[in-house]
Amino acid sequence: MNKYSSIALFGLGSLFAADSHASSWDFRSYDTPVNYNFLSFAIGGGKLNSDLLEGRDGVTVSDINLRWLVNEHWITNIQYKGRFTHHGDENDRADYITISGARRFAVMEKGDLYAGIKLGGSSVKIRNDTGSTIRTEQDFLMGVFAGANYAFTDALEGNMVFEYLEYDITHESSFELSLDYYFTTHFSLGAYGRTIWNDDSTLDQGGVVAKLRF
C-alpha cells in the first residue's frame, strides 16, 4: 500500500494509548466480539497506476455502508461507493451499489471470521479534458469476499478483508486493513488502507471512516 494507506493507519495507532480509559465501557449489547450493526461514512484518496488510462493517477473515493447482524450467524450489507479519477481539471466518475450477505464464524473469544457473496451494479462515465462525457458504461457485478474481525480492546477493533469482483467486461481483486476506535457507545472514528488490482491497473488508497452504531 502507498503513503495514503500508511498515513491513515498510522494515525489510528496512537489510539492504543487510550485503552485503559475505555476498558470499563460497555459497547456491545449483543454477544459478538465486535460491532456489526452500524452506518458508516468514509472518504479517502489514492494513487492509480494504469496501463490503459494514461494521465489519470489521482483518485478521490467515498463510501456509505449500512451493515447489520440478522442473527447470531448471518450478516447483511448495503453499500454505495463513489470514485473520481482526476486528469487535469476534470475527472472520470464511477458509482457502485451492492448488497451482500455473509456467514459469521465465531472462532475465538475476541475475533470472528466471515465469508460471503456480493451482487450489484456499477456506472462509469469517462470524460475528456473539456468535461464532456465521451463514454458511459453500466456493468452488473458479482463477487465473493472473506475476512476477519478482531477486538483488541473494548473500544478498538480491527478488520481485514479480501474481495474478488467479476464485472461484465473485467474483474478485480482487493485487500483492505482497517482500525476503528469507539469514543462513545455509538460513535467511532477509524482509518483504512486498501489495494485494488486487475490485469491492467493497481489502485492504492487510504482514508478515514466514521461509524454510527445502532
For 106-153, write each residue's pLDDT tens digit. Answer: 999 999 999 999 999 999 888 887 777 888 889 999 999 999 999 999
Contact yes or no for 200/50 (Cβ under 8 A): yes
For 158-205, write each residue's pLDDT tens digit. Answer: 999 999 999 887 799 999 999 999 999 899 999 999 999 998 889 999
List, in order of start, the domains of the chain with CATH numbers.
38-213 (2.40.128.130)
Using CA atoms in the order 122, 119, 9, 187, what is the torsion angle rounded to 10 degrees?
A: 100
Q: Which residue has the cell 492504543?
A: 16
Residue 141 has a pLDDT of: 94
Residue 23 has pLDDT above 90, yes or no: no
Distance, CA of 116 to CA of 71 (rounded, Å):
15
For 55-98, write each residue's pLDDT tens digit. Answer: 677 899 999 999 999 988 999 999 999 999 888 777 888 999 99
Residue 2 has pLDDT above 70, yes or no: no
Average pLDDT of the chain, as a whole number: 86
20 confidence band (pLDDT: 50, 70, 90):
very low
Residue 22 has a pLDDT of: 43
Distance, CA of 191 to CA of 178 (rounded, Å):
6
Single pTM value for the model: 0.82
Gyration radius of the chain over CA positions: 18
Residue 54 has pLDDT above 80, yes or no: no
Distance, CA of 86 to CA of 50 (rounded, Å):
13
